[in-house]
Structure 1
């Protein structure tokens, strides 16, 4: 009688699972209720006119067996500065950042000593428009305010260009200030808005980068991190629209400089109100043309996940972080990213751009 040999195969659940992919949220804003009056944009009826702290951020994020939140980059929240001439509130923000980064909260600020390791990088405001000498003076004041423990976590600076007069970033003083940041090893965070300011603002960014790198040794060229896909108009539906074509052209032009990175963030703010309320799948389908351009232009090694929390919640609700996370997860799947590429997008690119150990 023939003997039947039974072979036992391993079930998928018994197979070795890959280690969890860490997530670095490369773009969040936090501020305590005690300093709401220092925010330049805040009005009493603004939907974000309340404290947004690590406690709320932790509650907003999701974790799963395959992914875990390992930290965030805290970006300045646009404190009032009287056209770069009054540094009181920006330096106050750095003092608050220091308390968060060093685990020394004041009562009621919404973070605890145990939260300090989550803060992987700080990006305060800086007066780039005031010229290199004034910028150097500000950097010295910022270092004093941050103190020796938190200063190493300051990875770069931001000066929002989205609401500034045209060609501010092309002034000699601004360009020389960018070169100062490059020499000091700091990133420049680029916040522009094609949706409301048109293609001229994107063209300005292209020229700004060219001038900031012109004649500069490679290792001293400032790194640029572009926020929120440069805020394209996601209300349009026709890819032959001049706005989409101008944005797409700018993305491929900007990506030619290897010292530029793009944050996959901020899209909810540019959506039609009705679309914000739809599922992650519907949003993904609606903005796929823009997402595809960014992936094609920059590749996963120069794209990083960012939520733009809590701004992303406006019109979307408390589940906004998880909804955007799901959209980005679908980007990874549709692009057929390898495990290594996914690791770059979720955390590796942020580590590389901001020099996080």
Structure 2
């Protein structure tokens, strides 16, 4: 089974396009392109990746598709499109590409994520995407998980993916997060990316190993058939020098069977993104 990193980014950095990259994220304020990731993938025995948007721009999506065409390890792209646009169908036709398998919007950065998730135009746009069998990735923080769950329940026509564990509040613990995501157990069209946890704000005394209960909850809620490993490279470079997502996930999944590990490290991504 091919091992897949289901969540990574590339960009040519400009401050105006990547405003979410703050001054505290200096390592990200540079061009980060395929050659910078290749050796890391080889070191961790990863044969393919899903390249994910990081800017709300159709131009970035076209750039990512160009990179994907030139990069042997990129197996699919999650791009961006304005779901609320009356011209959505035309945009989808213009962006059509064999490697473009899904879309995402940085809902967490909206002035009101709850309002965005409830917007009739957004919901109509997602209905169109699902009729065309496009994956949609949901990027919210713990503050809007209830609304994200309701959003997911309305849209069961195709796969949805919750990015970065839904960005739990690590100060409240895994049991609290479990209550927030428990309704997703019944929503079989929703998968979850085991990604991003190392760079979420956490109490000073919390170590990487203290994050393992979140993996245990994810396994309980989603099962091994609805989880995908993602590094969130290069954002993962913001973690402590001795912490990385590959080692953390290996530790969290060490007790699983080889078939269960294969599902998390590639099989599920192959199914969801049609690799």
Whether TM-score is above 0.5 comes out as: yes
CA distance in 2, matches of 1:45, 1:208: 32
1:69 aligns with 2:46: yes
Partner of 2:250: 329
* 2:50 corresponds to 1:126: no
**Alpha-carbon shift at residue 153 of structure 1 (Å):** 0.6
Q: How many residues of Structure 1 are paired with residues of Structure 2 in the alignment?
A: 272
Q: CA RMSD in A?
A: 2.2
Q: 1:297 aligns with which of 206, 213, 221?
A: 221
Q: Distance in 1 between matches of 2:10 and 2:90?
A: 26
Structure 1 pair 95–168 and aligned structure 2 pair: CA distance change class (3 A):
closer
Contact 1:22 1:347 in 2 (8 A): yes
Query: Could you tell me how far 1:263 is from its partner in structure 2?
Result: 0.3
Match of 1:283 in 2: 208
Task: Please name the residue that 2:125 is paired with.
Answer: 177
Structure 1 residue ranges, 4+ long, deviating more than 6 angstroms after superposition: none
Deviations 1:260-284 (A, max 9, x none): 10000000111437568xxxxx512
Task: Select 1:232's aligned residue among 150, 168, 175.
Answer: 168
Measure how far apart 1:250 and its partner are.
3.0
Would the aligned equivalents of 2:75 and 2:99 in 1 still touch at CA under 8 Å?
Answer: yes
Question: Residue 60 of structure 1 is aligned with which of 40, 48, 55?
Answer: 40
List runs of 5+ in structure 2 lacking aligned partners: none
Match of 2:140? 192
Structure 1 length-normalised TM = 0.71
Q: 2:65: which partner in 1? A: 98
CA drift at 1:58: 1.8
Deviation at 1:291, TM superposition (A): 1.4
TM-score, normalization: structure 2?
0.90
Q: CA–CA distance in 2 between the matches of 1:355 and 1:22?
A: 13
Mapped pair 1:265 → 2:195: yes
Aligned twin of 1:136: 89
Following the alignment from structure 1 to structure 2, what is the Cα–Cα distance between the partners of residues 307 and 232? 17
Residues in 2 aligned to 1:142 and 1:40: alpha-carbon distance in whole angstroms: 24
1:316 is aligned to 240
Give the structure 2 partner of residue 153 of structure 1. Answer: 99
